Copies of this chain bind each other. A is one copy, B any other.
Amino acid sequence: MHVFTVKQLLSTSGMNQEVTISGWVRTFRSNRFIALNDGSCLSSIQCVVDYENLDEEVLKKINTGAALKISGVLTASQGRGQAVEIQVNKLEVLGEADPDKYPIQPKKHSLEFLREKAHLRVRTNTFSAVMRISSALAFAIHQYFRNEGFFNMHAPLITGSDAEGAGEMFRVSTLDAKNPPLNEEGEVDFKEDFFGKEAHLTVSGQLEAETYAMGLGKVYTFGPTFRAENSNTSRHLAEFWMIEPEMAFYDLDGNMDLAEDFSQSIIRYVLENCEEDLLFLEKRLLDEEKTKPQNERSEMSLIEKLRFVVDNQFKRVSYTEAVDILRNSKPNKKKKFAFPIDEWGADLQSEHERYLVEKHFKCPVILFDYPANIKAFYMRLNDDEKTVRAMDVLFPGIGEIIGGSQREERLDVLQEKIKAVGIDEEELWWYLDLRRFGTAVHSGFGLGFERMLMFVTGMGNIRDAIPYPRFPQNAEF
């Protein structure tokens, strides 16, 4: 007999067939109606038991969280709320869940409570919906790039170069933690370490992706990156996944075209493939917002926010124009910004980015040509020698979601910038080789996967957008 999933049964038209299904009890009411869920979709299937003919010992074990194997006949449901149900002929309890001990009971649990039970929280509607969408989003990303002729590459996680300077790094070592070997100068002798030198966890795969773009043309990475920063916020993780496309022969315009098409495409995929989960999360968010004062509620519902990105062309504005707009804006003049915008050169904050998107342009925005001194060394210097060919894509509710740039392809300019930021050129010999041999215009950008998942699911804390979040004082599970 074929074993079905709940998702398959709920969409079948083959009534009155004998089916077998396994899953976990979500609820059991009136000693008669089991809502059985197997994770394949948000909905449970209703299984109707004939309790008068069921062993009382078995009946007692049908508690929330118990694993059951059920055989029965699939029929059109008499009740409201579901089209089909199973008239149970055979019921086997695979694994019990003692209601006095099982923490995931059918009631509202706080997200904080569930974070402590990260190994069980995927059994709730909220987290199963988030994680099904996570999977769809990841697939949409791979499919998009494959259709566009990109090659996926695995950038290294452990790196012997600490030259990028995008953030604090974790050291990776097998040396004795208490008594490391010392060299003649009395310093730790990393020559004795596993890799023969000091090694760290990467903060970005971009530089390695550039080496591959200069051979394969269009590549992307999709892998974990790390930050050893002591940031206990709802937007930072010590370990998170990044998507970093890198394209030879793309200038900043091509990069902006790609970022817009890419972000719209992957969100459209989720809209088209995750309707049930999105509707559930939208309702969750609405309920949550009802507890907030009116002026803190978002103006758009979850799905409206996704459609706002998918249906609007992104407005492209230079940093200089944006600063003009912000300087003359009402909130700036009325001193409503926490960080007032006085002059050209200021780094923009989320409040400014959101103002541009939500109030001024009323569409997603791409800012470009940022001041050189607030951006990374590898970004291409403009002829004005003040700005670089950087871009940030700004979304409603969160501000920056994608950051990218055209890369500096001129050897001499790059060498000067490396010197200026104090990096040893020897560290980046291989990166500079790309400018020595067959250099060309090229560009790329980075997207934090969990940030995008927060946007798509409406979850407010990044610790709820990854199965097992890592942050200061926490590497549990």
Which A residues have a C-beta under 8 Å from some C-beta of B?
3, 5, 7, 22-25, 38-40, 65-67, 69, 94-98, 101-102, 104, 118-120, 122-123, 127-128, 131-132, 134-135, 138-139, 142-143, 146, 149-161, 168, 170-175, 177-178, 180, 182, 187-188, 194-199, 201, 208, 211-212, 214-218, 223-224, 226, 228, 230, 238-239, 241, 248-249, 409, 430-431, 433-441, 449, 466-468, 470, 472-477
- Write the chain B residue with the least CB distance to A160: B475
- Write the chain B residue with the least CB distance to A196: B473
Q: How far is the CB of A200 from chain B (nearest CB, A)?
A: 9
Q: How far is the CB of A368 from chain B (nearest CB, A)?
A: 20
Given A170-B172, A172-B170, verify A195-B97 contact (CB < 8 Å): no
Given A238-B158, A437-B97, A475-B195, verify A170-B173 contact (CB < 8 Å): yes
- Write the chain B residue with the least CB distance to A63: B438
Other-chain contact of A7, B128, B149, B178 (Cβ < 8 Å): B149
Q: Is the CB of B238 within 8 A of A194?
A: yes
Q: How far is the CB of A441 from chain B (nearest CB, A)?
A: 7
* Residues on the B chain within 8 Å of A120, using CB: 211, 215, 433, 437
Q: Is the CB of A5 within 8 A of B149?
A: yes
Q: Which 7 A-B pairs have the closest CB atoms?
A: A95-B439, A122-B215, A160-B475, A39-B216, A39-B217, A195-B475, A135-B151
Given A134-B152, A178-B182, A223-B223, verify A208-B477 contact (CB < 8 Å): yes
* Residues on the B chain within 8 Å of A409, using CB: 95
Given A132-B151, A156-B467, A211-B120, verify A472-B194 contact (CB < 8 Å): yes
Other-chain contact of A157, B198, B216, B239, B249 (Cβ < 8 Å): B239
Q: Is the CB of A248 within 8 A of B38?
A: yes
CA distance A3 to B247 in the complex (A): 13
* Residues on the B chain within 8 Å of A119, using CB: 208, 211, 430-431, 433-434
CA distance A158 to B224 in the complex (A): 10
CA distance A23 to B239 in the complex (A): 36
Q: How far is the CB of A288 from chain B (nearest CB, A)?
A: 22
Given A139-B152, A177-B188, A477-B208, verify A65-B158 contact (CB < 8 Å): no
Q: Is the CB of A476 within 8 A of B160?
A: yes
- Write the chain B residue with the least CB distance to A466: B154
Given A160-B475, A473-B195, A477-B430, verify A24-B438 contact (CB < 8 Å): yes
* Residues on the B chain within 8 Å of A470, using CB: 156, 158, 195
Q: Is the CB of A440 within 8 A of B196?
A: no
Given A211-B120, A434-B119, verify A178-B187 contact (CB < 8 Å): yes
CA distance A40 to B217 in the complex (A): 6
CA distance A40 to B208 in the complex (A): 18
Given contacts A97-B438, A123-B214, A178-B182, 8 further A-B contacts (CB under 8 A): A22-B249, A39-B218, A39-B248, A67-B440, A119-B431, A156-B470, A195-B473, A195-B475
CA distance A224 to B225 in the complex (A): 11
* Residues on the B chain within 8 Å of A138, using CB: 142, 152
Q: How far is the CB of A448 from chain B (nearest CB, A)?
A: 12
* Residues on the B chain within 8 Å of A435, using CB: 95
* Residues on the B chain within 8 Å of A197, using CB: 475
* Residues on the B chain within 8 Å of A430, using CB: 118-119, 476-477
Given A22-B249, A194-B472, verify A224-B157 contact (CB < 8 Å): yes
